[in-house]
Each structure stands twice: as structure tokens, then as C-alpha cells.
Homo-oligomer: A and B are copies of this chain.
Amino acid sequence: MNYDQIFQSAQDAFLHFKNVSGKDKGKFLRRIAEGIEAEKATLIPIAAGESNLPEGRISGELGRTVGQIRLFANLVEEGSWVEAVIDHANPDRAPAPKPDLRRYLTPLGPIVVFGASNFPLAFSTAGGDTISALAAGCPVIYKGHPAHPDTSKLVGQIIQKAAIDSGLPVGLFTHVEGGIAEGQALVKHPLAKAVAFTGSFTGGKALFDLAHQREEPIPVFAEMGSVNPIITFKKKLANNLEVLAKQFVGSLTLGAGQFCTNPGLIMVPSAHAEDFAEAVKKELEEIAAAPMLHEGIAEAYYKSLESMKERKELHWVQVAEAKDLIKAYPALAKIKATDWLEDDHFQQEVFGSFALMVVYENFNELFAIAQRLHGQLTITLWGEEEELANKADLINQLEEKCGRLLFKGVPTGVEVSHAMQHGGPYPSTSDSRFTSVGSYAIKRFARPIAFQDMPHELLPDALRADNPLGIWRMVDGEFKK
């Protein structure tokens, strides 16, 4: 099939699928989850082999993937996500009668989804982007990631089989293979209505620009990663030096440092910088180097480190030599806050297990860093409650720089839930108003439509007088069921 046929088939499927009930969409999604579980024994070794990730990790990711699918199934079966609003007519209102007006969310149309290399299941073929688009009622044209072609094809077949078993048109989901040129052609197709992407800034920004240069510009939800700063405070650090060093190194080296929420920047008060660096070094030495997703990523990691080594402002705590063409040896360098503040280059993400430790002398330096920070997916504060109590201004400033602010634990490990926000100010994502993880991810793929004085028999169930779906709605300004 050429792309025109793929998109026409998706568009035809869309005009049917958008009116499929939440209950039936839920069944379809559950079939995908069941299909993945049924193929577990085949899928896990294939995905592990293609990604260099251990089978245990892939098995956990599979659990997360099906859990995520069922979260969206629950969401659409329950149905309130459509934000139904009803304002009743008032024919007696002066000077003009008030019409009957009803509004809800309707799906956008065919969505182009790009798979991510670092999560061959959870952010790929049946990952959060595909599933939230399908849940919203949108067909998906999925561009598989070349780093895990067989995993991708197998999951694609599971989705297609689920569509057929559910009596839904196969045009709902198409799996496309290819590289950059193919991806660009998909984004440029006139029938595409939005794009979802997880990956590098360069890749995401290129798609963003392309989508906005179309005759009809379309939204791009690009999650482009960030350095996820951790800010540490004196007392907390002094009281928990070893524990925090261990937590930090665990998060930094998880999955060979290939998480979008990997902490690549840590701010440390000068009084404890040396001790903390020592403790971190000790932990790092105990971590076995892990293979990265593919050789290209490992090569890029070591190349970035080489360029970092040319900067005389950096003092290396742990050096990673390119001892291996595929494994990532973690690395850590220290820099003074005053030096860090001089050059935005120090904010660039090094994809992999490298972190920059910024040593600050006082609160003013820390506040200057907070003001200077680029947009981040997450920022983490490690402070005792009494240290944070008078930091309202700093916290207020940091809120402007991230989508999720943590006060405990580490940024890796993104909870899939209602309250999750995985999307921060630019350049961490292309649109901070939306999330790519958690149930609100569905909102990316819908838009409101209002019906004025629509005959009752024509109204969708979500907007009928008797509320047959039993969903939460705003009726004449009051939330009710």
C-alpha cells in the first residue's frame, strides 16, 4: 500500500471508529493487552535481543504496557473523559432567547505515531501514544523504530488482530517501516491530524517544524527528553549522604542511562560537594557497565563525552573511556555554579549515564541556576522539610521550568496514573499543555465540538438528556452524574 491508500483507509476507519461506544473501544483495547500477554514468551526474548535490555526489564516493561492499555480501557469504558457540557435553552431570555448548547470532545482523526528506541514496548507499537490515540477514537499510522523491527511487527500484528476480532476496520492501525524520509512523508500527508513522538530534541524539533510548515499545520506532541535536575540542600545531604548517593547512581545508570527522566544534572552545596562526589564515585565503581540500545547510541554517548572533556571548566570525578563499542560506562564531572551559569551548552543532554554535578556556594547562585534552567520534564528537590519551608520563591521559580516537581525519590520510574504529568516546558516537550504518560494523554487527540439545538434523536449518547452513559457532566454550570 502506498501512503495515500494507508491514510485513506485510516480516514475511512476513522469516520466509523469515532462513533464506536466507549464500551466497545474498551473491549478492543483489552484484546490488545490480552494479545500481548498471550505472546509474552515470544515477545520478551525478541525485544530483549533487539534492545540489549535484560529480559527482566523487558518483562517489567511488558507489565507496564498492558497495565497502561487497561488504564485507557477503564477510562473510555467509564466515559467521563469527553468533558460533556450541557447548557439548556431558555426561550424566554431577553433580549434574545438562549439556545440549547451541548459540547464534548471528539477525536481528531488519523494520528502518526513514532516509536521510541528506549522502550520497545511501553513507548512503542502498543505504547502510550498509540493506545491513547486509539482510546480517543483516532486511527494510528505507526512508524516502527528501526532498532526493534521484529518486536514492532509482532505487536503490530497483535493490534491488527484485535481490531479484526472486535469487528473494527483494519485501517485503524497500520504499521509502517522505514527511516527519516518515510517518517517525514507520513507527517506531511494531508490526512494526518497530529503527530506523537518520543526521542531526541533534533528528531522531535525536525518533525515539529515540518508539521507546522504544512498547508494545514497540525499539532506535534514531541517528548524530547531533558537533564532532569536534582537540587540538593545541605542538611538533607549531610544527613543522608550514602543513601542519596546510592539513589542518585541507581537512577543515573538505570537502563544504561537511557530514560527520558534520567538525572543528568545535580546541584550540590559546596560544603558537601567533595564528600558527595566521593560517595557517588564509590557507588559508580560498583555498577557494571550495561549495553546500550544499539552501537549508534553508544557511539554518540562517547562522542558527547569527548566533547565535554575539552571543557576546562569540568573536573572529572569518574571518566568513561570508550572501552566498548556498545556498553555504557557511567561518567560524572563537577563544575562550579558560576561556570555553569556562563554557558547554556552545559544544559545539553548527554543521552546515557553521564551527569554534571554543579557545585553552588549559596542560595543566590542556586536561584540564578533556577532562573537559567531550560524547560525540563522533571525537577527533584532533596531537602529536609525545614530547609524547604522558606524556599517558596525558589519552588515558585522551579515550577516554571518543569512538568513534574519531586520532593522525594528519583525522577526515573514514571507512574502511569491520572495525576501524572510527563511533559514540561520547551525544549523538554514541544507542548507543555499535554502529557504523554497517564490517562490525560488521551486529551492530546481530541477537540471540542458544540451542537446547537440538535434534535434529541441525533445527539450522541454522552449528551442525551437521560445521560445513558452515566458519566460526569457539567449541566447548566453544575457537575453531576
- Is A40 close to B, CB under 8 A? no
How would residues 124 to 158 of chain A score, 1 for a CB under 8 Å from any chain B CB and 0 otherwise? Answer: 00000000000000000000000000000000000
CB under 8 Å from chain B, chain A span 448-474? 448-455, 457-458, 472, 474
Complex CA distance for A430 and B405, rounded to whole angstroms: 31
Instruction: Tell which of B80, B106, B209, B431 touches A399, judged by Cβ atoms closer than 8 Å.
Output: B106
How would residues 96 to 116 of chain A score, 1 for a CB under 8 Å from any chain B CB and 0 otherwise? Answer: 101101110010110000000
The answer to whether B457 and A389 touch across the interface, beta carbons within 8 angstroms, is: yes
The answer to whether A421 and B449 touch across the interface, beta carbons within 8 angstroms, is: yes
Complex CA distance for A209 and B213, rounded to whole angstroms: 8
A383 to chain B, nearest CB (A): 9
- Is A403 close to B, CB under 8 A? yes
The answer to whether B99 and A449 touch across the interface, beta carbons within 8 angstroms, is: no
Q: Kindly list chain B residues whose C-beta atoms are within 8 Å of the C-beta of A421.
A: 103, 448-450
Instruction: Tell which of B98, B409, B418 touches A87, judged by Cβ atoms closer than 8 Å.
Output: B418
Given contacts A400-B109, A405-B454, A453-B407, contact A447 B433 (CB under 8 A): yes
Complex CA distance for A103 and B433, rounded to whole angstroms: 12
Given contacts A449-B399, A452-B406, contact A419 B109 (CB under 8 A): no
The answer to whether A409 and B216 touch across the interface, beta carbons within 8 angstroms, is: no
The answer to whether B409 and A449 touch across the interface, beta carbons within 8 angstroms, is: no
Q: Kindly list chain B residues whose C-beta atoms are within 8 Å of the C-beta of A440.
A: 85, 103, 448
Given contacts A458-B388, A474-B418, contact A432 B409 (CB under 8 A): no
How would residues 166 to 202 of chain A score, 1 for a CB under 8 Å from any chain B CB and 0 otherwise? Answer: 0000000000000000000000000000000000000
Complex CA distance for A409 and B453, rounded to whole angstroms: 9
CB under 8 Å from chain B, chain A span 390-413? 392-393, 395-397, 399-400, 402-409, 413
- Is A426 close to B, CB under 8 A? yes
Complex CA distance for A280 and B87, rounded to whole angstroms: 32
The answer to whether A446 and B433 touch across the interface, beta carbons within 8 angstroms, is: yes
CB under 8 Å from chain B, chain A span 368-402? 375, 385, 388-389, 392-393, 395-397, 399-400, 402
Q: Kindly list chain B residues whose C-beta atoms are within 8 Å of the C-beta of A427.
A: 216
Q: Kindly list chain B residues whose C-beta atoms are within 8 Å of the C-beta of A102.
A: 419
Complex CA distance for A371 and B408, rounded to whole angstroms: 53
Q: Kindly list chain B residues whose C-beta atoms are within 8 Å of the C-beta of A408.
A: 99, 452-453
Can you name the residue of chain B whose Cβ is closest to the Cβ of A432? B447
The answer to whether A405 and B452 touch across the interface, beta carbons within 8 angstroms, is: yes
Q: Kindly list chain B residues whose C-beta atoms are within 8 Å of the C-beta of A392.
A: 458
- Is A262 close to B, CB under 8 A? no
Extra contacts besides A388-B455, A433-B448 (7): CB < 8 Å: A103-B421, A109-B400, A388-B458, A405-B449, A409-B452, A433-B447, A479-B479
For this complex, 5 residue pairs linking A to B, each with C-beta atoms less than 8 Å apart, are A15-B396, A385-B455, A385-B457, A388-B458, A425-B447
